[in-house]
Amino acid sequence: MSKIWLVAERRDGAAAPAALELASAARTLAETVEAVTWGGEGERLAPVLGAHGVTTVFDVGDIGSKLPAPSVAAAIAARWAAEAPPEAVLLATSYDSRDIAARLSARVDRPVLTNAVALGREGGSLLSTHAVFGGAKLVRARFTGEGPGIFLVRPKSFPAEPTGGPPASVVPLPVPELGSVDGAEVAAHHADLRTGPSLEEARVVVAGGRGLGEKGRFALVEELAALLGGAPAASRAVVDAGWAPYAYQVGQTGKTVEPEVYLAFGISGATQHLVGMKSAKHIIAVNRDPSAPIFQVADLGVVGDVNQVLPKLIELVRSRLS
Q: Answer yes or no: is 141 within a domain.
A: yes
Cβ atoms 4, 26 nearer than 8 A: yes
Tens of pLDDT, residue by residue, the chain (322 residues): 599 999 999 987 789 999 999 999 999 999 999 999 999 889 999 999 999 999 999 999 998 888 899 999 999 999 999 988 999 999 999 999 999 999 999 999 999 999 899 999 988 889 999 988 767 788 999 998 887 999 999 988 899 999 989 999 999 999 998 887 777 777 776 666 566 788 888 999 999 999 999 999 999 999 999 999 999 999 999 999 999 999 999 998 889 899 999 999 999 999 889 988 988 999 999 999 999 999 999 999 999 999 999 999 999 999 998 8
pLDDT of the residue at 65:
81
Q: Answer yes or no: is 195 within a domain.
A: no
pLDDT of the residue at 253:
83
Q: How many CB atoms lie within 10 A of CB 41?
A: 18
Return d(Cα 245, Cα 153) in angstroms, integer: 24
For the domain that residue 275 is a member of, what is the CATH number? Answer: 3.40.50.1220
Predicted structure pTM score? 0.83
Q: How many CB atoms lie within 10 A of CB 299?
A: 12
DSSP letters spanning 257-310 = ---SEEEEES----HHHHTTTTT-SEEEEEES-TT-GGGGT-SEEEES-HHHHH
Is there a single domain that holds both residue 232 and residue 105?
Answer: no
For the domain that residue 44 is a member of, what is the CATH number? Answer: 3.40.50.620
**3-state SS, residue 163:** coil
Q: Answer yes or no: is 193 within a domain.
A: no
Conformational region of residue 164, where left means phi above 0, alpha means psi within -120 to 50, and beta covers everything else: left
DSSP letters spanning 183-214 = --B---------SSS-TTT-SEEEEE-GGG-S
Q: How many CB atoms lie within 10 A of CB 111?
A: 10
Is there a single domain that holds both residue 169 and residue 31?
Answer: yes
Q: How many CB atoms lie within 10 A of CB 23?
A: 31
Overall domain count for the chain: 2
Is there a single domain that holds both residue 240 and residue 158?
Answer: no
State whether the Cα torsion 56-61-67-70 is positive or negative: negative
Which residue, among 35, 11, 36, 37, has the nearest Cα to 165 in the 3D structure?
35
Domain enclosing residue 135, as ranges: 3-182
